[in-house]
Structures are given as C-alpha cells and as structure tokens.
Amino acid sequence: MHILIVEDDEVARDTLAEALREVGHTVEVAADGLEGLSRAASTALDLAIVDRMLPQLDGLALVQSLRATGKKLPVLILSALGEVDDRITGLRAGGDDYLTKPYHMSELLARIDALARRREAAEASTKLKFADLELDRMTRRVTRNGKRIELTAREFQLLEFMMRHSGQVVTRTMLLEGVWDYHFDPQTNVIDVHISRLRQAIDKDFDKPLLHTVRGAGYSLREDE
C-alpha cells in the first residue's frame, strides 16, 4: 500500500515509517498538518495515518478538510489523548479508525490492513465464505464442508468478524470493539477464551485448522499453518 504518515514527533514518525516499509508498504511522510493535507489531496494514496496533535493544522481539521473535498481515502487517526469521547470525536470528524499511543505495531498493522480491505469489499453479501466454511447472515447458519455447526449467538458474531477479516491479523482490541463495541482493556484473557471456544466448534472435527493464533498480535482465519 501507498501510505502517508502525518506526524510531528520525529522519533515516532521515523520508526513508524521504518516499520511500515519493512512489511512492504510504500511510505510518504509529512511533519505538519498543512503539508499533510496538501500531500493527501494531491497524491494517489491507499491510506493515511494522521496524528491528532499537529502544528499548522491539527489532525481532525485535516481529516475534515479532506472529507470536505470528497476524498474517500481511509484514515487512521493516532492520538496521545486517550478517552472514549476523543475516539468518537475523531471518528465523527471523518476518521475511519482511532488508535491511542502507545500502541503495538502489530495492532497498527492489523488495523490498516482491515481499513484497506474495508475500502475494497462491498458489504452487501449476506453469505460469507472462507475455505470450506460458510456463514449465512440471514439464516444464521454455519456449515463447514457441508456439515452444520452449532454456535451461540456470540460465537456466530465472532466468526462473522473473523471471516470478514479472513487472511488478516485481528487483534484482541479489534475483536472487543467489533463484536462487543467496548473500548477498554479487559485485564483478564476474556477474548482468548471466547476464541478458543470458537476454535473448538469450527476446527475440532476437521483436518485443517483455520483459526490460528498469531503470537504477539492476535488471531487470524487462515488456511496455511
């Protein structure tokens, strides 16, 4: 992906750019809001990562201006302010996702992948399919290799989320936000246990495990090991 980073903190900016390049993305940087806005408006980008506190033009104003021009560029807002209301403010300004500092790089990488995919996919389909796994959102039926799998309501939602992000890394925070709509950090490993239940249901009686744990990051629905 062609990514623009708008961040005034030099260390943060450089380490982030480095990390993104390492996984194969093309990265451009801007050190203030005005420069960031002009770059975003004039370049063909796949994604922008914008810090909230910027000199010249603050991050939210940047995003709002961008949206005002009709640009649909996916934007991930980075912020050192970490409150629920701040997140809502950021998303309302036109941001697509919001991440507070400090963050794990794996978290950021997972989220930008999700944002990129969101742009491509048309959400209309009621049936999701991955490998031999099929999920029907209307009938609430799940089958693997034709065999019916019984899931609780919550397990169904989890699976749906994983399938919509199939092939990608999904972090625990993303799951908590996407399935429960909670924006805090549970101290215990609640998500892990939910996932292991789901894994029991969809992988146990079958040859190929699909639901994998990605060390240090989260989980992924993948066909390979």
Partner 1 sequence: MEGRSRKVSPDQRFLGILNTSPFRIAIVYSIAFACGAAALLGAVNFAVSRVVDGSTDNLIEAEVQGLREQVMVLSRSDFIELVEQRSQDQDVRGAVYLMVDPQLRPVAGNVPAWPKIDANEGKWIQFDIQVPYGEETREHEVRARRFPLPGGYRMLVGHDVQERQDVKNLMMRGLIAAVVLTLMIGLGGGLWMGRRILAQAGAISAVATQIMRGDLSQRLPVRGADDEIDRLAREINTMLDKIEQLTLGMRTVLDSAAHDLRTPLNRLQATAEGAMSTLATGSPERRVLERVTSEVDRMRSTLDALLRIALAETGTVAREPVDLSDLVESVVDLYAPVSEERGITLQSSVTPGAQVQGSRQLLAQALANLLDNAIKFTPDGGRIRVQLNQSGAGPEVVVEDTGPGIPADKRELVLGRRVRLDEARKFPGSGLGLSLVAAVTKLHGARLILDDAAPGLRVSLKF
Q: Which residues bind partner 1 (CB under 8 A)?
A: 9, 11-12, 15-16, 18-19, 22, 53, 80-85, 88, 100-105, 154, 180, 182-190, 193-194, 196-197
Q: Which residue, 69 or 189, is less far from partner 1 as judged by CB?
A: 189
Burial of 132 (0-12, 13-18, 19+ CB in 10 A): middle
Q: Which residue, 70 or 102, is less far from partner 1 as judged by CB?
A: 102
Q: Which residue, 10 or 223, is less far from partner 1 as judged by CB?
A: 10
**Minimum Å distance from CB 92 to partner 1?**
11
Q: Which residue, 87 or 164, is less far from partner 1 as judged by CB?
A: 87
Q: Are 92 and 70 in contact (CB under 8 A)?
A: no
**Minimum Å distance from CB 42 to partner 1?**
28
User: Nearest to residue 170, comparing CAs of 91, 115, 89?
Assistant: 115
**Minimum Å distance from CB 118 to partner 1?**
23
> CA-to-CA distance for 74 and 62, rounded, in angstroms?
13
Query: Which residues on adjacent β-strands are paired with residue 30?
Result: 6
Residue showing tokens 């998303």: 91
**Minimum Å distance from CB 48 to partner 1?**
18
User: Nearest to residue 63, comparing CAs of 99, 42, 36?
Assistant: 36
